[in-house]
Structure 1
Amino acid sequence: MNQTSRDNFAAGPDDDDSPVGIIALWQLLWRNKQRILIPAFGLAFLTGLLVLRSDDTYTAEAQILLTRGNLEIVEFDSAGDIEVSPGAITNALTILGSRSIALGVIDRVDLTNDPEINPNLLLPDDADPEEFYPENVVRQLALDWLAAYAQANILPGSNAILIRVTTTGPGKSAAIANAYVDEYLEYQVRSGQNETKRAAVALETRVNELRLQLEEDQQRLQSFRGGAVSSVLDSSDALMGEAVDIRARLASTENALIVTDAAIAALTAVDDAGSETLSELIAQNEILSRLQRSTLGRSINTDSFDQDIQAIESALQDERARLVRLRDALTDGRTAIEARIAEVNAFTVGLRQLEVEVETTSQVYESSLARLKELSIQTGLRDAGAQVLARAEAPLRTDAQGRRRMVAIAGFLGLFFGIAYVLLREAANDRVRKVSELVDITGSDCVVQLPPAHPGVLGRGMLAGFGQSKRKAAPFKEGMRSLRHKLIARAGRTSGPLIAGIFSSLPTEGKSTVTQGLASSFTMIDRRVIVVDGDMRAGTLSKTLGVAPDQPGLQNVIVEKFDLSKAIVSLSEQGFDLLPSGQSDMNPADLLESDRFGELIMTLRERYDVVLFDTPPVLVLPDAVKIAVHLNAHVLVADYDRSPRAAVRDTVAALQEVDVEHLVVAFCNAPKAFGQKYGFSDQAYAEYWN
């Protein structure tokens, strides 16, 4: 069975915690829960303070049911119709929000004498209100106040209108809501009556016009009928019969004329033939035979052949001339009869048209007259087109629910802002969050992940003390053991005691806490340990460990050649010694370059097994780089999600300038460090390792 040394647990797999997917997003939000909850609670708290400081409000409601289209002229028998068009609903809401209704409400409730609205009532008795707020300004203030605190809305899926008024007085809210109801109903009644009257006046004018037009049309009809000739009206059928007879005779005459012309042509064609041929032609042609009998009374003789032919031809020409005269006469007669028929038809059509016009005008006149009578009745019966469903009553409780809703909304807005801030911060994040990033930046193959020393209320507790419970300190102490193991392995390559410095790029990255924890960890394996507070400008570690501000220390030993034994403070509770930062007027950077500082380090090497230097931030002051020259081990502290990548990179470059090659990197506050994957509770984990 393969086992892994617990010193290697800190260098486990480099989990990529990039915000990809729902689970990763939830982990991101959970890690930043303080940044999300603080604005939510803060905004809710501020909103609660503002709400509590405001006056109590009361909301009264009244309801109106629309029963028909308002401002519309309706039939007399449809006054009770409850069907309301969308246009009528829109008109009702527009009327309720109009200036005229609001002015009526102001006068009805006497809002101009309300101190909440009229600032003149708060003036001294000897002041002239017209000099401050004239009457028109006060009424405008009342209009603006009503627009802000009174609302009218249609209830979804119904014809009911809800009027809601919110004021600081229950009675005032109910009075204003009921005033809106009464003012609306009266306005609709007045408007309906006025509209009906206007329609009646317009219709009366139209009725008079129709009456005059009807009289004029009837007179025209009588005149037209009186001017007609009775014979024209009576002979219409006879004319039609005569026209038919003439057309038949004309057709017969034209046919006879055609036959006569054919006979003339045939006779002319055989004029030079013999008597036998001519006799045969006459015998075959009916009209020639008839003319022979009527003209000659006998057959054609050979002796008088020429005279007989001439006689027949002459009779044939006479017959043709007679037929032409008859045709022309019949044609003239037909034309005259057709003209008379057209005259009769035109008269008949005109007469019928006049009769239709008179009948139509009479019907329109009678209908308009009946409608005028109905409108005259409706003028006295016109209603508001609406009924009151519920009048407003003075509310018994304040609008506390609305205040709670405002606080809740403010809390949700705070959560939204907090989440937005976290996501924006995540999008623009340039800070160290993964072990792989530290490896790439520092070039170190030794990165130790350290959990928080104490989670604390705000989640980041690297500056917490070490006198805490066994259960809470166990994960951090185990991380210190891993860091100690790495340092011992590094120092094993050189002879002599371990002289290590703890460095950081910027302040508040956990450097002093790591120094203190590492010193405590070395004491657990019976090492003589001294911690030197090399941050001579701030002295953070000395203050954290409770050293008096006037206690001599590092600066006193270097400048004044103060007795080292008297400057060292023994911390029996922690198990290690401390050389505080001390006090001096000289610049700490100059002190660190003196020979006295090198001699001090040699003295400490002879007395202790482990010497730990707590240094100032590398990128802030040059002191840390000057200390690094004298050390044989170097620990670079980087704080999870706080140390900028560029700052860590510049720190490594600064240390490399003084030949610092092998760095042990302490990754503080790592969320997936010791104990996070073993399934133990905090207490079980502490008992397991201790």
Structure 2
Amino acid sequence: MTIEKSIPIAESFAQDPQTETQFGEERGFSLLDLLRIIRVRRKIIVGTAAIVVALVTVIVLEMTPLYSATAVVMLDQRKHNLEDTAAVLSGLPSDQATIQNQVQILTSLELAGRVVDKEKLREDPEFNPKLSGLSALLGAINPVNWFGTRKTEADAQEVDLERSAVIHRFLDRISVSPIGLSTAMKVSFQSESPQKAARLAGAVANAYVEDQLEAKFSATQKATQWLSGRISELSQKAQLADAAVQQYKAEHNITTTTTGGSVVEQQIAQISAQLTAAKTDLAEKQANYGRLAALARTGHAAASSQVLASPVVAALRAQESQLTSQIANLESKYGARHPKMLDLMAQKQMLQGKIDEEIQRFVDSARNDVDVAASHVASLQGSLRDAENQGAGQNQANVQLTALQSAATSARAMYEAFLGRLNQTQGQEGIQTPDARIISNPEIPTSASYPKKTLAIGISIPAGLILGLMLAFMAERLDSGFRTTAEVERALGLPVLATVPEVAQPKEGSPINAAELVIKKPMSSFAESLRGLQLGLQLSNVDKQPKVVVITSSVPSEGKTTVALSLARIAARGGMNAVIVDGDMRRPNVANTAELGARDKGLIEYLTDKAGLEEVLHKDPISDAKILPCLSTPASPTDVLASNAMRKLVADLRERFDLVIIDSAPLLPVNDTKILSLLADAVLMVIRWEKTPRDAAANAARILMDVRAPVAGVSLTRADNERFRYYSYGYQSYHHYSKYYAD
């Protein structure tokens, strides 16, 4: 008998580009996808958040509370020098590098060691682990510690290591930070005791201020010692330099004035000044004499300023003017030859002679002044030549003297500078103040600063939610199964005929057999999905509806037996003559699922001619369907399924029943289904929702395609009804759809 192989829906689905686009195209991640993951994986998210919050709460409650006290220290680097007003009034520095340097000092091992020693923290169990717990107990019972023994070098090293450990533990509790852009710093300390926290915070601040003061005193003392030694050396050098100058002067007969200059040089300077003045005076007198002599030769000497300024010449001029007036009056009256006129003319001529004599006397006096001035200049020039000749011999000696005097002056200036610095330093020793001061003493805290329980628990909530969301995303991505029909159709190229939901078992009472729901609860979502699957199988080949349907899966425990029995029952309920054959001879389960009870004849007995067909066909306990169970396992199931008897059985059932459903073995473990698929009109592959690995499903589909099995499609089974609705119905529609079911 020839069996037609027809898979029109599967082939058309795989070859239709529009269907591939509709079901297979990838869409980007959206906000709805995020909401879906949150709703589907809310147990992971909430559970992770709850675990994180619980762990943080337990850890925080178990942690030893620490109290923090803070002292505020402000840098004040104004120079307290009473002799320097500008330094006293100088502004505060704004150099953040300086503040950071002070922060390093506050957290240094040296400063911490001082506080540890002063406060005797090596005897405090909080800072010395050896004094608490098991270490203290072992030390107490150690006989070596019962008697006083001599300290060895190893003991000293152990003490140093213990002190170092206490210091580092102490430093772990210190926190120093600048306050904004000011020069103030917060010095905080944490301790298990609020009183101890305040005490140690103040101790650190005070130790820092004392360290500043000690550093200044130490620096001042070192500077004083160094300056004293340097001044002693400079004093000796200055004395030797002065003695060398005096000795050189005595050896070269060099006399200096009170101002330090040479006497000969002073004389030369004075003569030079006098000579310059004498030359100037001579030049003036020569000019005056030349002008008078020139006027005298032209007869206009009377117009010179010296003559005009002379009272004698002025009186003579007055008399001459009167005579001229009288002559003019008498000339018109008596005539030029009148005796009075002649007498007046003689008097006028005599007056003119006197005026000429007076003018000549001025000229002679000017020439005499020129001669005297020239003699004075010549005398000064001679004196200058004598002084220069005397000073020429001392020039070479003055060069060396100048060098000696410069060395003496330099030594004396350096000595005086260092002496002044020493006096200033010694004067400041008594008024030294630190560069920092405490502006806020620590207060005893009233509440613990660590751990911040409310903050930690508050942060743990969003942190736990974020971690839970990350785990939800990981779980979503790591799931290897199928969750939507689009994923199956995109991966396998096969249509999904129906999605069968998982049947929720009651918390109390006997468990529900899912295959019974199609009869006992025909309005349930499970029964409705099976009716949709039945319709899908009928429409898989419209021209010739399949009568023999093989139901298989890729791996065991995917629900194929439940689906096969449910399809047979729902077909029988609809008036069809249906039979289900248990074709999984290796692990037969149809009889148990249908609850047939004890039976002694089944498929193997019929194929081996030990029983007739009517003897092996059993009525379903809750429907009109027939069941052909497999009650024993043959030695070679593959040979049995490939036998003529099996082909004849399928042919007889095809003729007798409207629908023959064969529950076959999984595809991947064995080859039984390959043989049965050749006898079927349609093959239905069952895939468990979200559980069946995609690779396994793809390999199973490839096996069916290799043998050209008439694959009608795929059925997703055991879908989580609550979670599946988020993948398939969306976020709101399912609540409307669920009104149609009566689960």
Length-normalised TM-score, structure 1: 0.63
Alignment match, 1:99: 109
Looking at structure 2, the residues matched to 92 and 472 of structure 1 have their Cα atoms a distance apart, in angstroms, of 85
CA positional deviation for 1:59: 2.3
User: Does residue 236 of structure 2 align to residue 236 of structure 1?
Assistant: no
| CA deviation vs aligned residue, 1:37-61 (integer Å, no higher than 9, x gap) | 2784476167348616x73321222
- Check whether the contact 1:69–1:85 (CA below 8 A) recurs between aligned residues: no
| Structure 2 stretches lacking a partner, 5+ long | 1-12, 14-18, 146-153, 256-261, 280-384, 506-512
CA spacing shift, 1:630–1:105, aligned 2, 3 Å: farther
Of 736, 739, 742, the match for 1:684: 736
Aligned to 1:163: 188
Measured at CA, do residues 136 and 356 of structure 1 come closer, stay the same or move farther in structure 2, by a change above 3 Å? closer
Per mean C-alpha deviation after superposition, the further-off stretch among 548-557 and 158-167 is 548-557
TM-score of the aligned structures, taking structure 2 as reference length: 0.59
How much has 1:99 moved relative to structure 2?
A: 2.8
Please give the residue correspondences for 1:479-498 in structure 2 after superposition, counting only pairs within 5 Å: 479-490=529-540, 493-494=543-544, 498=547
**Deviations for 1:202-228, whole angstroms, at most 9, x for unmatched residues?**
444455555556656666676788734
Q: State the match for 1:198 in structure 2.
A: 222
After superposition, the Cα gap between the structure-2 partners of 1:351 and 1:232, relative to the gap in structure 1 and judged at 3 Å, is farther
Could you tell me which residue of structure 2 aligns to residue 323 of structure 1? Answer: none
Are 1:117 and 2:134 counterparts?
no
- The answer to whether the aligner puts 1:390 opposite 2:442 as a matched pair is yes
**Structure 1 residues 368 and 586, CA gap change in structure 2 (3 angstroms):** same
Checking the alignment, whether the CA contact within 8 Å between 2:617 and 2:626 is kept in structure 1 is no
Kept after mapping to 2: 8 A contact 1:542/1:581: yes
Aligned residues with identical type, % of pairs: 17
* Deviation, structure 1 residue 653: 3.1
Note closer, same or farther for the CA distance 1:335–1:477 as it changes in structure 2 (3 Å cut): farther
* Structure 2 residue matching 1:395: 3-state secondary structure: coil
Q: Does the CA contact (< 8 Å) of 1:58 and 1:173 recur in 2?
A: no
Corresponding residue for 2:67?
60
Deviation at 1:649, TM superposition (A): 3.9
SS of equivalent residue, structure 2 residue 110: helix
Q: Alpha carbons of 1:571 and 1:95: their partners in 2 closer, same or farther (altered >3 Å)?
A: farther
Determine the structure 1 residue equivalent to 2:97.
Answer: 87
Counterpart residue number, 1:298 = none
**Stretch of structure 1 that moved more, 504-513 or 158-167:** 504-513
Question: RMSD of aligned C-alpha atoms?
Answer: 5.7
C-alpha distance after superposition, 1:315-363 (max 9, x if no partner):
xxxxxxxxxxxxxxxxx99998997898799699769967974785476
Cα distance 1:674–1:438, how it changes in 2: closer, same or farther (>3 A)?
A: closer
Query: What is the distance in 2 between the residues matched to 1:153 and 1:472?
Result: 76
Post-superposition Cα deviations, 1:492-531, rounded to whole Å, max 9, x if no partner, equal 6447x73322333345656456546645654663445555
Q: 1:454 to 1:386 in 2, by over 3 A?
A: farther
Tell me, yes or no, if the aligned pair for 2:548 and 2:682 is still in contact at 8 Å: yes
Moved more, 193-202 or 221-230: 221-230
SS at match of 1:61: strand
Query: Contact 1:432–1:640 at 8 Å: present in 2 too?
Result: yes
| Displacement of 1:654 | 1.8
Once the two structures are TM-superposed, the CA of residue 487 in structure 1 deviates from its matched residue by 0.8
Q: How does 1:538-577 map to 2 (within 5 A)?
A: 547=595, 570=620, 572=622
Q: Is the 8 A contact 2:585 2:633 kept in 1?
A: no
CA distance in 2, matches of 1:200, 1:236: 48
Deviation readout 1:620-661 (Å, 9 max, x if unpaired): 332333332332211123467765555444323322344413
Q: How far apart are the structure 2 equivalents of 1:650 and 1:404?
A: 50
Query: Quick check: 1:620 aligned with 2:669?
Result: yes
- The answer to whether structure 1 residue 635 and structure 2 residue 684 are counterparts is yes
Return closer, same or farther for 1:350/1:184 CA change in 2, 3 Å cut-off: closer
Tell me if structure 1 keeps the 8 A contact 2:201–2:442.
no
Aligned residues: 577
Give me the whole-angstrom Cα distance separating, in 2, the residues matched to 1:464 and 1:174: 73
Residue 189 to residue 517, structure 1, CA distance change in 2 (3 Å): farther
Change (3 A) 1:642 1:343: farther
CA distance in 1, matches of 2:143, 2:523: 77
| CA distance in 2 between partners of 1:16 and 1:109 (Å) | 77
1:661 aligns with 2:710: yes
**Contact 2:69-2:442 within 8 A present in 1 as well:** yes
| 8 Å contact from structure 1 (residues 431, 645) kept in 2 | yes
Q: For residues 237 and 548 of structure 1, what CA distance do their matches in structure 2 show?
A: 155
CA shift, 1:372, in A, is 0.9
Q: Taking structure 1 as reference, are residues 396 and 64 closer, same or farther at Cα in structure 2, changes over 3 Å only?
A: closer
| Structure 1 unaligned regions, length at least 5 | 1-7, 247-331, 457-462
Q: Considering only CA atoms, is the larger Rg found in Structure 1 or Structure 2?
A: 2
| Residue identity in the other structure for 1:682 | Y
User: What letter is aligned with 1:123?
Assistant: L
